[in-house]
Structure 1
Amino acid sequence: MLVEVWSDFVCPWCYIGKRRLEAALTRFDHARDVEILWRSYQLDPTVPPGADGLVRDHLARKLGATAEQVRAMNDRVASLAAAEGLEYHLERAHIANTFDAHRVAHLAREHHLGPQAHERFMRAHLVETEHLADPETVIRLAAEVGVPADEVRRVLAGDDHADDVRAEIDLARQFGAGGVPFFVLGRTHGVSGAQPVETFLAALEDAYGLAVARIS
């Protein structure tokens, strides 16, 4: 059964949702029959390419919030992430237009390293506070999971996989996704947001049961 996940590397809820889905799979009897496909989405495509700065300052401007309000919001998300074994450092996270990083993730998929690249980019931004808009950083991170650095440079120097990224974002909209994380299980069940493990487990069981019934 195919589970498609739309997420963005800079989305703190996406990493939490990823961990909760993974936890649900450890309790799912047919987990070995599940293939996960990480699809592209941009949480904030309005961030200019190559822009830098702190996410906390960007959020304060975008939301019209005070520094204290942003800090409280980030602390709450970080606390939920910690419960999933993730040590966020959102106060030091850099803003980034992730379009190019998603193009590289598509290259990683060609090398059968899509899940590894997705995990590496998320951890880099949310835990290690790496700057995903910096080409050299993206090249290094992709190489760490086995994507050839020369191929990453070639992709970043051109427009390879740009249409692939746009197509996946459009597909998310066709499914009705208004944000991420967004999960589609077997093309029959959808889960929006970083839901509890029990919600993912129930969706997996329902979608799998329907898939088996269709085959039968």
Structure 2
Amino acid sequence: MSPLRIDIWSDVVCPWCYIGKRRLETALSRFEHADEVEVHWHSFQLDPSHAEGHRQPVFETLAKKVGAPLAQVRAMTGQVTELAAAEGLKYDLERAVSANTLDAHRLSHLAAAHGLGDQMHDRLLRAHLGEGEIVDDPDTLVRLGAEVGVPEDEIRRMLNGDAYADAVQEDIREARRIGASGVPFFVINRAYGLSGAQPVDTFLSALRTAHADPAPAGR
């Protein structure tokens, strides 16, 4: 039987994406056929218009985006932080910095070429959401990539050129084609779509349904 394929569209600055990732991992830990699953990460930019090199505290960015005072933004993000904590994730959004994520996504593609796509995406999410790392800073990306095993010289060479930029844009175009207007977005076996950080039981049910009817992935 072919592996059960999970395609995930996500942005490395998305708090709901990290929660969704952890809930899926919990579901997989309870899934009877987890050893038959292949996970493929895909790029998505929540704000592709964010100017390269422009950095701003996340709370200020959100306040401008939703037209709300900082106190209200803090209350909103506080709820997300609590939900993350329930999944074992430590957010510190007071320290988070908004930045363009193109280079971070290019790094994720490079890491995937080394079989480290999942580890790299996880590291970037934790760096932005919990550690106040600036995810468009070249030296930061080199360090984070090296932490998960991506060769430093390859990261620097990639950052000095445009490698994987087309792959990032193709991921984003594919998201539009399948109707994913936000992230996280999960597609199981190219047939079962799930939008948002769904409960663990929802993921588990979808995995079992897809496993019982594996044909779509091969069509």
Please give the TM-score of this superposition, normalised by the length of structure 1.
Answer: 0.97
2:63 corresponding residue in structure 1: 60
Please give the TM-score of this superposition, normalised by the length of structure 2.
Answer: 0.96
Instruction: Say if 2:121 is the partner of 1:141.
Output: no
Instruction: Say if 2:50 is the partner of 1:47.
Output: yes
**Paired AA for residue 155 in structure 2:** V
**Paired AA for residue 158 in structure 2:** V
Instruction: Say if 2:105 is the partner of 1:111.
Output: no
- Identity over aligned pairs, percent: 57
Kept in 1: contact 2:190–2:217 (CA 8 A): no
1:123 corresponding residue in structure 2: 126
How far did 1:135 drift? 0.8
Q: Distance in 1 between matches of 2:76 and 2:216?
A: 44
User: Residue 120 of structure 1 aligns to a residue in which SS?
Assistant: helix
Which consecutive residues of structure 2, in runs of 5 or more, have no partner in the other structure? none
Instruction: Say if 2:143 is the partner of 1:132.
Output: no
Q: Distance in 2 between matches of 1:211 and 1:153?
A: 41
Q: Distance in 2 between matches of 1:78 and 1:38?
A: 23
Kept in 1: contact 2:186–2:195 (CA 8 A): yes
| Number of residue equivalences | 215
Q: Distance in 2 between matches of 1:175 and 1:20?
A: 23
Which consecutive residues of structure 1, in runs of 5 or more, have no partner in the other structure? none
How far did 1:46 drift? 1.7
Q: Distance in 2 between matches of 1:43 and 1:90?
A: 17
Q: Could you list the per-position Cα deviations for residues 44-69 of structure 1 after superposition, in whole angstroms to 9, with x for gaps in the alignment?
A: 11211111110100110111110111
Distance 1:213 1:148, change over 3 A: closer
How far did 1:21 drift? 0.2
User: Residue 37 of structure 1 aligns to a residue in which SS?
Assistant: strand
Kept in 2: contact 1:51–1:133 (CA 8 A): no
1:174 corresponding residue in structure 2: 177
How far did 1:214 drift? 8.7
Kept in 1: contact 2:5–2:39 (CA 8 A): yes
- Among 11, 15, 24, the alignment partner of 1:21 is 24
Q: Distance in 1 between matches of 2:47 and 2:63?
A: 14
Distance 1:157 1:202, change over 3 A: same
Instruction: Say if 2:207 is the partner of 1:207.
Output: no
**Paired AA for residue 49 in structure 2:** T
**Runs of 4+ with >2 A deviation:** 212-215
